[in-house]
Amino acid sequence: MVLTLARLVVAGLSGLLTYAAIEPRGWWWAAIVGVGLLYASLLPWGTRHVTARVGALLAVAHSLVLYLLTLPWIGELVGSGPYIALAIWLSVYAILLGIGGAAVARWKYGFIAFPFFYLAVEVLRSSVPFGGFSWVKLAWGQIDGPLANLAPWGGTSLITAATVLCGCGLAALLIQRGWKAKSAAFLAAILPLASATVAGLGINRDDSTVGEAKVAAIQGNVPRMGLDFAGQRQAVLNNHVAETKKLAARDKDIDLVIWPENSSDINPFRDGKAASAISGAVDAIDAPVLVGTATRDEVGARNTMQVFAPGHTVGDHHYKKYLQPFGETMPMRDFFAKFSDYVNLAGDFKPGDGPGVVSMAGVPVGVATCYEVSFDNAFRESVKNGAQLLTTPTNNATFGYSDMTYQQLAMSRLRAMETDRAVVVAATSGVSAIVHPDGHVSQSTEIFTPDALVEQLPLRSGETFSVRFGSPLQWLMVIIGTVCALVALRTNRLRRTPRRSGTDTYVGA
């Protein structure tokens, strides 16, 4: 019992350290130490192996601490109940991680297999049910560290696996016995960092630049109180119109302008006043403007990013494809309505199926609206469909001054590195930012402050290895991890290790 409690303390500490890597703290090294401690808690201590039941308990403890600390921003809208429920639900996946991880950890070289199984569980959590929840990938916490340089070669999956491999290598280096095992552990801890450092030499190369565009991101801000719902929507639209006109008065050479998601929640195709206001801003800036709005077609309600061009011209649109379950859409609405009134807060938007690209002044711009940026295929599809510049229009006003907007900005930065494209982040209330292809932020805004960012950005062509092969590489690693865990479970069932005083025997490979 004492040993189990000690393991629980280590597992809880591992969750705390892993959380410290997430923005806005950004202590990237803490995630390596954190997952290393998780693996250490699953390793045999002396002759005492971790059972499947205890392994599940340890992984759940790690996950609960991590997600309860990462996701309080969700409670800004719906209160603490749903936020805690989500953290608990995400921790359910850790049961698999703990059972398989405890089995793999009995192998002498299990620290090589565990990263692949960790990734397999992360992919499962990011995929099902209802499209999964990819917001909590381990890779996001590496944006300020060297492992982020692996993004063009394998995206978030490769970074996650590399982070866990480093951590497991450190844990095995301290706990394993024998020079061969310690040598392998040392290489496991060092090689990902060394490879990432070398990979960084190929980040942001100018040979794929095909032009430039002067781009503006508008942050109109939102009213904080004192208006009804309709008044709020009109005020948000007015704010973005006003900021665009201010920019037009001081800069006449803008090529294209990005407004945030929900910058006009009044449908301009059904409201003449809204259409007139948008047209006035477009004509003033004399450049196409990508406007976040809510529209409806024969399928249903859409979260839409719509291009409006000078001369009252309507251009391309992007219907948000990856909708937030329990927010923008409500899976199994009738069923969940029996348990909570929060169901009524969820929207009924329908997903789009477009190319993820809109044309603005001849520039193909890839669009991932807010939550979409957390999904690997969103910007990969945009780039495959010819996007030379990317944008993440978002509405973070609901979440106040929480960490949410900084967590999301880290995703946009990693996507810039993965795709070798500049990313323009336009947020209603902040943080808006200009992100370069190497992931660095050249400009950003304060939260709840009206502002406009303008910068000359490179237009890039071509596809990185991750854009082309990131998905099959991910599934290859997932298969390796799953097979390793199944073999370890089977092996441990067939070959029990006898307890021998003073000996330390590993089961399996």
* Catalytic residue set: 261, 320, 370
Query: Around Cβ 6, how many Cβ atoms within 10 Å?
Result: 12
Check: CB of residue 408 under 8 Å from CB of residue 370: yes
Burial track 472-505 (b if 16+ CB lie within 10 A, e otherwise): ebbeebbebbbebbebbbebbeeeebeeeeeeee
Nearest residue to 358 (alpha-carbon basis) of 318, 309, 415:
318
DSSP string for 462-487? S--HHHHHHHHHHHHHHHHHHHHHHH
List, as own/partner pairs, every contact residues 186-192 make where C-beta atoms lie below 8 angstroms and the sequence separation is at least 24, other chains included. 188/111, 188/112, 189/165, 191/165, 192/147, 192/150, 192/162, 192/163, 192/165, 192/166
Count of CB atoms within 10 A of residue 197's CB?
Answer: 12
295: closest CA among 270, 313, 323?
270
Using alpha carbons only, give the angle 121, 125, 131 rounded to the nearest 5 degrees: 145
In the chain, the amino acid numbered 21 is: A
The span from the CA of 34 to the CA of 142, in Å, is 13
The torsion angle over the Cα atoms of residues 173, 199, 25 and 467, rounded to 10 degrees, is -120
Tokens matching residue 142: 């590496």
Residue type at 164 in one-letter notation: V
Distance CA 432, CA 445 (A): 5
Q: Where do runs of H (alpha helix) occur along 272-349?
A: 272-285, 333-337
